[in-house]
């Protein structure tokens, strides 16, 4: 955990004012102790990424809120998917191959639907 001033010192492009705004917007979720914010590792990398997208790639804040929202959904879906895959891996081999065959045949069906429509 690092403090707000440590974070601002650590990231070259970062200034306090936009950081506060991002916290208000819910883009960054630091721990709050009285009026002081504390940032953990995931907050740090998140602020780094926001800085990169905003200052280097010039993604405006309006667009950035959409980008972050989609990004959070993407990572959430990937984490969930990985949990599902982990659960499938823990199944007996025949269950795994059943699931694999099912996905394969569904995909083939969908491909056939697309080509006939």
Partner 1 sequence: MADPYEALGVTRTATQDDIKKAYRRLAKKSHPDLHPGDKAAEARFKEIASAYDIVGDDKKRTRFDSGEIDSSGSERPPQPDQETYREHAESHPGFKYSRQWNGSGPSDDDLFAELFGAHQRMRARGSDVRYAVSVDFVEAIVGGRRRFVLPDGKALEITIPAGLKEGQTLRLRAQGEPGFGGAAAGDALVEIHINPHPTFRREGTTIRSIVPVTVAEAMAGAKVPVVTVSGEVQLTVPRGSNSGTVLRLRGKGVPSKTGHGDHLIELRVILPSHPDDEFVQTITQWEANHPYNPREMAGQKS
Interacting residues toward partner 1 by CB under 8 A: 26, 29, 41-42, 45-46, 48-49, 52-53, 56-59, 65, 67-69, 71-84
Tokens 């405006």 sit on residue:
60
The nearest distance, CB 22 to partner 1, in angstroms, is 12
E-strand ranges in the chain read 2-3, 31-33, 36-39
Choice between 79 and 112, CB closer to partner 1: 79
Choice between 49 and 112, CB closer to partner 1: 49
Q: How many CA atoms lie within 13 A of 107 on its CB side?
A: 6
């Amino acid at each position: 955990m690092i403090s707000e001033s440590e974070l601002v010192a650590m990231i070259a492009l970062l200034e306090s004012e936009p950081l506060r705004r991002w916290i208000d917007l819910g883009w960054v979720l630091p721990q709050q102790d009285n009026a002081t914010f504390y940032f953990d590792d995931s907050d740090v990398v998140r602020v780094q990424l926001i800085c990169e997208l905003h200052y280097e790639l010039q993604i405006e804040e309006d667009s950035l809120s959409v980008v972050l929202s989609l990004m959070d959904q993407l990572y959430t879906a990937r984490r969930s998917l990985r949990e599902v895959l982990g659960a499938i891996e823990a199944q007996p081999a025949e269950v795994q191959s059943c699931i694999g065959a099912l996905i394969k045949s569904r995909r083939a069906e969908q491909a056939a639907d697309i080509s006939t429509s």
